[in-house]
Chain A
Amino acid sequence: MPSPVTATESIDAAQSAPHAEPVIRIRGLSKSFGEVRALDGVDLDVAPGTVLGLLGPNGAGKTTAIRVLATLLAPDEGSITVAGLDVVADAAKLRSQIGLAGQYAAIDENLTGLENLTMVGRLYGASRARSKERGRELLERFELLDAADRPAKTYSGGMRRRLDLAAALVAKPPVVFLDEPTTGLDPRSRITLWETIEALVADGTTVLLTTQYLDEADRLADRIAVIDHGRVIAEGTSDELKDRVGGERLEVRLSDRSAADVASKALAPMSDEPPYTEDGVVKLTVRGRSGTIVEAVRRLDEAGVGVDDLGLRRPTLDDVFLSLTGRVAEATDGEETAA
């Protein structure tokens, strides 16, 4: 069995090579549960040392994809390799090359933080002493050293997630899968976890993460694959996806919410798509930038609509999601972040 250290070295070598082979290569991945087609012909590549964000609503197939990649679930169809190893044929070998942090903090609540990490280290095949040492290292890095000898059941939600992520990194795996790493965390814990993930990637780890949060994908992912109903419906960098949606976005905050229909009608000629309204704000994609605001003010004035605020902005991933799926991305409301 290759030691985790050699695995890290080999990936470092792969990274320095130009046009490196993808570390994760997915072709034609399909998986059904009974009648439900959870994944329906997914193709994806992840280059070494980069982050791919798998973005989609609940039930889009994100978790199923992670479970296949982490050897927990056999695919129905498709050829999937991670670190050059087939997820089915080489599953046993592959497991020493990957780390998994799931949607729920998969830690033993009755063990202390250090005992949890030591256990995982030993299950990767390291000695007790070495596992303990590595455990302490990680606890320090994740700012959990003070809580090292406390049972994990006394940890806060954020601390549990950090411990869970630490457990995924025990063997310094070259590839890490994170399934909705910050779902359910408070804003501060989210940002701490984001910083940790960024540091991980800076060290050369390849990461595939799933998220329902557009800001999370925007911040962490080098490339984003938007997934819906088991299919990849768009893929690219955050900027590419935003360009795909096209144009600048005009947002008009109305003084009187009931004027939304009148305002939409007045502004409609400025866009190729019908404007939509969210929380008293009329939003539309406009064709050009120059003169847009003047024209909008004139049109709204003629229609007799009062305006509190009005501005142009680049499209966000929310817009991308909306324009690709025809639905507003879920789980973004009520989640204010300071990012």
Chain B
Amino acid sequence: MRRLVSDTMVITERNLVRLTRAPDLVLAFTVQPVMFLLLFVYVFGGAIQTPGYEDYKDFLLPGIIVQNIAFGGFVTALGLNEDLKKGLIDRFRSLPMARPAVLAGRTSADLVTNTLSIFVLLGTGLLIGFSFHASLVEIVGGLGLLLLFGYAFSWVFALLGLLVSSPEAANSLGFIAVFPLTFISSAFVPVESMPSALQWFAEINPFTIVVDAMRALWVDGQPAGNSVWGAVVWSLVIIAIFAPLAVSRYRRSAGG
């Protein structure tokens, strides 16, 4: 266990150092969500009815942050796939290090980049007029929930990165899998406005549950209810399923 922690820290550090050497990647992960936020608020915002919310910004920001955090794991998928291609995974697997450390180091590094992108989005949101209706505890709780959910999705992306044949495939498959999930949810429009089949899907979609939980914590100004617990449980279930799958795939993975 001590080895797992120290090896994970070594790999996390490595991944973060890499980011400082490739600042364009950091830029991509901060500018793109800001662009999305501005486009949605100013292009679609006027046309979307959000009963119960004074302003579309208040409705949208939690949704767009959740979408963005789910995509944060892309760094893990692309990075792992590149490591696999370049033979680095072979090197790591030949070392006397804790088996899950390479993956745990990746997903932990995502926590740092996710934190960064949350603050960029939140900062932009506050600048254009988003306002909290929440206590400090609720605000911090919301941040924690975002990071937990993002961490869970990093494990989904870890498995994806180990399964696909190229970073390009990871990119498009990840996009195909996650993009509709985020859109058929309460992230951008009220679920009630969708056709009934989509509504049915949106209501059981974990994204809806997490977005609703974030709205409950940050915007609704009412005691956060079951949705927060639902979001926590969903995140833990995703980790419980995908982390062992990814680690077992890593143990068997054959490099390029």
Query: Which residues of A are interface residues toward B (Cβ below 8 A)?
Result: 1, 67, 70-73, 92-93, 95-96, 98-100, 102-111, 115, 119-120, 122-125, 151, 167
Q: Within B47-96, which residues are at the interface with A (CB < 8 Å)?
A: 86-88, 90-96
Is A123's CB under 8 angstroms from B90's CB?
no
Give chain A residues whose Cβ lies under 8 Å from the Cβ of B10: 119, 122-123
Q: How far is the CB of A69 from chain B (nearest CB, A)?
A: 10
> Smallest CB-CB separation from B7: which chain A residue?
A123
Residues of chain B with a CB closer than 8 A to A70's CB: 90, 94
Q: How far is the CA of A72 from the CA of B94 in the complex (A)?
A: 7
From B17-25, B118-126, B226-234, B236-244, the one touching the partner chain is B17-25
Q: Are A100 and B96 in contact (CB under 8 A)?
A: no
- Would you call B254 and A106 a contact (CB within 8 A)? no
B96 touches A124 (CB 8 A): yes
User: Are A115 and B17 in contact, with the CB atoms below 8 A?
Assistant: yes
Which residues of B are interface residues toward A (Cβ below 8 A)?
3, 6-7, 10, 14, 17-18, 21-22, 86-88, 90-97, 101, 254-256
In the complex with contacts A110-B18, A151-B21, A95-B87 CB distance below 8 A: no
B98 and chain A: residue at smallest CB distance: A123
Of the residues A72, A95, A107, A167, contact of B96 by C-beta under 8 Å = A95
Residues of B within 8 A of A105 (CB): 87
The interface residues of chain A lying within 8 Å CB-to-CB of B90 are: 67, 70, 72, 100, 102, 106
The SS class assigned to the B binding surface is helix
Question: What distance in Å separates the Cβ of B228 from its nearest Cβ neighbour in chain A?
Answer: 38
Chain A residues with CB under 8 A of B91? 100, 102, 106, 120, 167
Instruction: List chain B residues, Cβ under 8 A from A108.
Output: 14, 18, 88
A152 → B minimal CB distance (Å): 10
Contacts of A93 in B (CB 8 A): 96
Which residue of B is nearest A170, CB measured? B95
Residue of B nearest to A4 (CB): B96
Contacts of A92 in B (CB 8 A): 96
**B93, closest chain A residue (CB):** A72
Residues of B within 8 A of A111 (CB): 14, 17-18, 21
Question: 30 A-B Cβ contacts within 8 A?
Answer: A67-B90, A67-B254, A70-B90, A72-B93, A72-B254, A73-B254, A93-B96, A98-B94, A99-B94, A100-B91, A100-B94, A102-B91, A103-B87, A106-B86, A106-B87, A108-B14, A108-B18, A110-B17, A110-B21, A110-B22, A119-B10, A120-B91, A120-B95, A122-B7, A122-B10, A123-B95, A123-B101, A124-B95, A124-B96, A167-B91
Residues in A with CB closer than 8 Å to B255 are: 72, 102
Q: Say yes or no: A119 contacts B87, CB within 8 Å.
A: no
Q: Shortest beta-carbon distance, A37 to chain B, in Å?
A: 17
Given contacts A106-B87, A119-B14, A151-B21, 18 further A-B contacts (CB under 8 A): A1-B96, A70-B90, A71-B94, A72-B94, A93-B96, A102-B87, A102-B90, A102-B91, A104-B87, A105-B87, A106-B86, A110-B22, A111-B17, A120-B95, A122-B7, A123-B101, A124-B95, A125-B96
Shortest CB-to-CB span from A182 to chain B, Å, is 16
Q: In the complex, what distance in Å separates the CA atom of A70 from the CA atom of B255?
A: 13
Choose among A96, A110, A120 the residue with the greatest number of B CB atoms under 10 Å from its CB.
A110
> In whole angstroms, how far apart are the Cα atoms of A120 and B95 in the complex?
8
- When chains A and B are docked, how far (Å) is the Cα of A273 from the Cα of B187? 79
Name the 6 nearest CB pairs between A and B, nearest first.
A106-B87, A95-B96, A110-B18, A96-B96, A106-B91, A110-B21
A125 engages B3 (CB within 8 Å): yes
Q: Which residues of A contact B256 (CB under 8 A)?
A: 104
Could you tell me the distance between the alpha carbons of A25 and B34 in the complex, rounded to whole angstroms?
59
Distance between Cα atoms of A99 and B95 in the complex (Å)? 8
